[in-house]
Amino acid sequence: MRPSEGLHLLPVHRRIFGSVASGGGTIGVLLGGVLVSTLGWPWIFLVNLPIGVVALALCWPLLDADRGQGAGTGGGPDTLGRSLNAVRAGGSVAVIGVLTGVAGNAPTLPILQKAVRVQGVNVGSRAMFEDMNRALSLNPSVRPIVDRDFRFEEAPDALRYLESGAHFGKIVMKF
């Protein structure tokens, strides 16, 4: 069976989420390239921050009523176990930061049974983030790497190039 043949078996909300997430990811990368090439890289923050705030405000009523007790939403020693129970077979669980200490039990059985990939992510501290931004503001020569520019008319070629994974850095769409 081809992957598209089983699509009708997915609940409607998962199909909608998948469409929006994949389309948003693609459009976001392309528009980010346009933004960087026309207005400069600091504008990425001025655009993405309000979008994130609006998305959070719109999604807040949809969050579970337990506010942080669901899988992967609040941290704590049981979060990894809940996340491993919730993830699909062959899926990934990202462990981001350590808010409640480093001790705890790592349930290995769900990892093995479901062939789950567990990836640790170190995001750093606020002070590190502020230091990085200060260094970038003092160093205007530090710029994002632009791999290739495409005219808007070449959007299908740009998407194929993005899908190929042959790029290193941004793919820019010029209007």
pLDDT (tens digit per residue) in 84-125: 888 888 888 888 766 666 666 778 888 888 889 998 887 778
Averaged pLDDT, 8-25: 68
Question: What's the confidence (pLDDT) of residue 154?
Answer: 93
Assign 71 a pLDDT band (cuts: 50, 70, 90): very low
Residue 151 confidence class, pLDDT cut points 50, 70, 90? very high
Nearest partner of 109 among 84, 92, 87, judged by Cα:
84
Residue 153 pLDDT: 92
The CA radius of gyration of the chain, in Å to the nearest whole number, is 20
Burial category of 33 from C-beta neighbours within 10 Å (exposed 0-12, middle 13-18, buried 19 and up): buried
Mean per-residue pLDDT for 152-174?
A: 91
What value does the mean pLDDT of the chain take? 78
How far is 70 from 81, CA to CA, in rounded Å?
11
